[in-house]
């Protein structure tokens, strides 16, 4: 009788926090390729590539372009500072959602915190629905949700992030699919040393 050799777990660094689109893309890629992946949350593209340099991860995944927001500037800035090899790419339809601390009414929202790409993808929605809101750029959409829940952002802040982030961090989902265009596609690349 042959014994099965267990698959080696691959350390997959994603450019986001738990509940991010990068985590979703990483899990989709691992499933597509039949990889047993341990997800490492590197928060941003620089974090992914720096961990790859230090051999703390085996593969990295991060977004490089969005159908509405265009090039993900932070990705190209980070790519210019590191050496890596392109392994694959993955397209993901991104559905942005608006979330707040439980009980905060829409009329009480004074700030909107999220990643610059989410701001670009939801410009018309923000201008139409919250013309007076202060925009706070954050390193990652899901991290903004986590940080709102942790009290690191003002309580009168709404976050634009994936729906799963609201569930993970106990936020109230006010509205789904707030991006200005549909489909809202993002290209992620998978890289290795």
Q: Is residue 2 in a domain?
A: no
Same domain, 26 and 44: yes
How many domains does the chain fold into?
2
Same domain, 113 and 85: no
pTM for the full predicted model: 0.91
pLDDT (mean) for 73-81: 93
Same domain, 79 and 106: no
CATH number at residue 111: 3.40.190.10
Cα 118 from Cα 79, distance rounded (Å): 21
Q: What is the pLDDT of residues 130-159, one digit of tens each?
A: 999 999 999 999 999 999 999 999 999 999
pLDDT of residue 5: 47
Burial (CB < 10 A; 0-12, 13-18, 19+), residue 97, is buried
Tokens of 121: 């993808």
Tokens of 134: 């202060």
Same domain, 77 and 146: no
Same domain, 89 and 120: no
Q: Is residue 156 in a domain?
A: yes
pLDDT greater than 80 at residue 33: yes
pLDDT of residue 3: 52
Same domain, 52 and 80: yes
pLDDT of residue 144: 98
Burial (CB < 10 A; 0-12, 13-18, 19+), residue 102, is exposed
Q: What is the pLDDT of residues 93-108, one digit of tens each?
A: 999 999 999 999 999 9
> Which residues lie across from 185 on neighbouring strands?
93
Q: Is residue 153 in a domain?
A: yes
Q: Is residue 15 in a domain?
A: yes
Percent of the chain with pLDDT over 90: 93
Provide the CA 86 distance to its chain's centre, in angstroms. 20
Instruction: Give the list of residues 6+ apart from residue 3 with CB closer than 8 angstroms, or none.
Output: none
pLDDT of residue 141: 97
Is 20:140 a contact under the CB 8 Å cutoff?
A: yes
Rounded to whole angstroms, the maximal C-alpha distance in the chain is 69
∠ CA 28-32-33, nearest 5°, is: 120
Q: Which domain holds residue 51?
A: 10-94+183-192
Q: How far is CA 82 from CA 49, 79, 85, 147, in A?
A: 7, 5, 10, 28
């Amino acid at each position: 009788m042959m014994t099965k050799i267990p698959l080696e777990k691959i350390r997959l660094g994603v450019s986001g926090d738990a509940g991010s689109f990068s985590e979703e893309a990483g899990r989709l890629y691992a499933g597509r390729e039949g990889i047993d992946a341990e997800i490492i949350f590197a928060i941003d593209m620089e974090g992914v590539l720096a961990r790859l340099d230090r051999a703390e991860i085996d593969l990295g995944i991060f977004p490089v372009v969005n159908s509405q927001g265009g090039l993900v500037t932070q990705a190209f800035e980070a790519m210019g500072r590191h050496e890596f090899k392109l392994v694959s790419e993955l397209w993901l339809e991104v559905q942005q959602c608006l979330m707040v601390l439980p009980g905060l009414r829409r009329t009480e929202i004074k700030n909107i915190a999220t990643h610059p790409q989410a701001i670009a993808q939801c410009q018309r929605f923000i201008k139409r629905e919250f013309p007076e809101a202060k925009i706070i750029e954050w390193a990652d959409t899901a991290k903004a949700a986590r940080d709102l829940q942790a009290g690191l952002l003002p309580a009168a802040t709404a976050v634009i992030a994936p729906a799963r982030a609201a569930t993970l961090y106990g936020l109230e989902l006010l509205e789904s699919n707030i991006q200005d265009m549909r489909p809202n596609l993002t290209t992620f690349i998978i890289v290795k040393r």
